[in-house]
């Protein structure tokens, strides 16, 4: 396995949001507020091609999460049995990486990305941005039987 030194993350930016704590976060990602992805100027070249209307996957570091949690009650419902965090979207998990699908609403003059409905608290480090779907793949394979229907989701 790779040495730990090779698995160090360098944030590429930070989330600016009216959400200030975990308890403020809505349970459904679609209910998250508008937010800003403030990308470090060192990585502006990697934003080439980002346009309003584009859907991207935002990968975050859920810095308020508890890394020692291995089981949770689904939907924070104590009446439900404990289940392994790897079958849930709980932010609490050994490596608290969040995955959020967002729509870009504006790229402002300072190259900050404005997005709709992001369930991530203010100050959350951003690790990566990706195409929600590879444009080439989508064009080539829209008729694939492996196409799947799924929802926008976080963490």
Q: Return the residues of window 80-119 that contact its own copies according to CB under 8 A.
A: 82-89, 93-95, 97, 99, 101, 117
Q: Is 53 in the site for its own copies (CB under 8 A)?
A: no
Q: Applying CB under 8 A, which of residues 23, 41, 48, 143 lies at the interface with its own copies?
A: 48
> What does DSSP assign to residue 33?
P
Tokens of 107: 């790229």
Beta carbons of 31 and 154 less than 8 angstroms apart: no
Q: Applying CB under 8 A, which of residues 16, 43, 107, 114 lies at the interface with its own copies?
A: 43
Element (DSSP H or E) covering residue 135: helix 135-141
Pick 7 or 109: Cβ nearer its own copies: 7
Q: Is 47 in the site for its own copies (CB under 8 A)?
A: yes
Pick 18 or 138: Cβ nearer its own copies: 138
Other beta carbons within 10 angstroms of residue 107's beta carbon come to: 16
Beta carbons of 69 and 88 less than 8 angstroms apart: no
- Reduced to 3 states, what is the DSSP secondary structure of residue 7? helix
Residues listed for the chain = 155
Minimum distance, C-beta of residue 110 to its own copies, in the bound complex (Å): 16
Q: Applying CB under 8 A, which of residues 46, 52, 66, 106 lies at the interface with its own copies?
A: 46
Tell me which residues in 19-38 interact with its own copies (CB under 8 A): 27-28, 30
Q: Applying CB under 8 A, which of residues 22, 24, 70, 106 lies at the interface with its own copies?
A: 70
Which residues have a Cβ under 8 Å from the Cβ of 141 and sit 6 or more positions away? Answer: 147
Q: Is 12 in the site for its own copies (CB under 8 A)?
A: yes
Tokens of 43: 């990585």
Q: Is 147 in the site for its own copies (CB under 8 A)?
A: yes
């Amino acid at each position: 396995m790779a040495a730990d030194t090779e698995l160090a993350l360098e944030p590429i930016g930070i989330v600016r949001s009216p959400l200030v704590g975990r308890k403020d976060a809505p349970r459904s990602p679609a209910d998250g507020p508008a937010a800003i992805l403030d990308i470090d100027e060192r990585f502006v070249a990697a934003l080439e091609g980002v346009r309003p209307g584009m859907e991207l996957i935002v990968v975050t570091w859920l810095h308020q999460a508890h890394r020692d949690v291995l089981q949770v009650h689904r939907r924070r419902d104590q009446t439900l049995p404990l289940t392994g965090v790897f079958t849930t979207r709980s932010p609490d998990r050994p490596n608290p990486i969040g995955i959020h699908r967002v729509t870009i609403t504006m790229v402002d003059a300072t190259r900050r990305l404005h997005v709709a409905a992001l369930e991530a608290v203010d100050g959350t480090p951003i690790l990566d941005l990706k195409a929600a779907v590879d444009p080439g793949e989508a064009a080539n394979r829209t008729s694939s039987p492996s196409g799947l229907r799924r929802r926008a989701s976080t963490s």
